[in-house]
Structure 1
């Protein structure tokens, strides 16, 4: 189990740093009444925003409903998800409900049209306590902050981080030298989660990656770099630094989301390579477990767990994938297999473009049901495909495509 989860504080009092912020949040919830302003937590990752929300819900006996605002970006989705919560202020057991919207600063771009405006409107008269979190107080959430009580988190000071690290190491029965501890604390830059992850990796015998080194790289370079890396540390760095996603297809995926899907990229790269069956099965098992974890994290709204998937994949695939010649592939089939399929699709596309409208069918249905009979009729009636195409479709190239299909049918 990750130390960052195992040692997550259960109460507000157990948390480290940001004392004034925690006190302000406690006072806000203690004095909350229907219609009170939502609470907006602003601060860098790993400083305790999510931990504070869970601790408040636990201490005040609320049933916490979590949503990731960046996964529900447009106005219709936001309204559809938030309105039912406001209409049911208690769960089936009569327990009070609290709503937590994480990453509200992630709502941006054309796909989010009306999202922030709708969120601002909904937050004007909440019927349940609402806490929102953002990584920075940017211009994007300026209007939202006007209808909220905003409290800010700061990076946790090094002295407090060191004390907490000593406490965790003692609890785990683990030891690190003074130089290692100081290095881990300094590299974390006030991020408790990063510090604990680094400490756990160091205790396990792995070198750690400094936050200062983190720079997103394109997924193509990341996948190729991972499979060519000469050490686990280097390989892990390529995966964790990748400009990649673990999207939930239930909420729709753009073309760019599909391109950046790390699990899909690794899967297509592995299955399209020349790898022994046992090695491939082992690697796909790792991806399968990771995929299940991604699905569960999304279904249970435990999005904070997604950040650990990359490290799990990197270590799980490493041994089996060395010197196998695996390269990035966008498609899950090798080109010798996919090439003829692609070529035939180009050929049949012209035929179906004319045949489907004439038969009042979709291209898919025409290709599956009508095209084989159409080609068979052309053969049996000994019709010249070029003349047929010119007479009926006024396009000689369609006739050439029909001729190719006739040749393929005759070879079967």
Structure 2
């Protein structure tokens, strides 16, 4: 077992750093009610977000129901696992169940379709505490963020990581110098999990760890594309640019798209023209590469592209935000629109029991007219979100306003039900008062007249036969 899992903190008191955030989480758990909002813990990877959630559950004696990125997180799966868990009580004897949704900002793609909406529905119906964990706060939808209480976790300073590493060395009976400990703590860049993994890798098969052995297992750091673009517009030498391009984990074609997307930051038109000429020439070499499958030409394409654009930039630097390639944004928008269209058609086709192709060819126009005449009614009956409603209305602002009004109406109905629930329960507990039945006086039964029988004859006569 690796040390990151073996020495995972079992209690909130064992956690390192982020004391304010941990206190906020503990206070939330202590005062939790069914009206409390879920927690949204966010921050960079490896700083203790998931460990904090598990430590909280352990301290509060709560059962854990977790759904992470390795699971399929469609609407049906989330409703079955997290949805059921958020309403039903625990069967293990624990007081409550803690619903943990890890990597909530990675709900995307076909495998997670409908997941974000299912989470919102779970939050609405939940009768158990929930914690969402994300690396990027803005990777979640605005509606989901608004329904949660955010808690930020920050990167840990090296001075907080070093004592933990010393504790692990003592527990495993390994000797590690102060210099080596601080080298690991610094190179982890606030990531405690990475620091523990580096120490574990350095300690395999050893009882003593030297500085050189720590260096060989340091965190693998790759040059980002942002560093390359910054150097390209700055005063970096040609050799430095080529070195950075080799360290970037992207192909020359991707690098070219990033450079092209930021050429417009050059201050004058002649510089822009020279930069585009260099990109055009580099693009020819990329074409040769793919046509002939001779990837040695990549190095020439990269050199022409970077050195040519750097010459046009003249070391004046870039004084604006580095933007991703514009074509990526267009492709992303087109992909999102296609997903919305497909999801909307599948939903309606399932409701009216026809194939999607038949719906699209024969009924879509009629349905669009009906939705346009009563958008709120159809959005509510078909449970459409703002994007799906906009597919019919082609008006984002109006669609968002309608969905917001529906959400407010549902919220008001929920509050009204919560107010009526105690009254209804009280009414059911009170036994009904039985009214006394009106009874009529019982009359004595009438005696039936008794027929008098003639006395029995003691002797037969001749007239008995007549």
TM-score normalized by the length of structure 1: 0.49
Name the larger-Rg structure: 2
TM-score normalized by the length of structure 2: 0.44
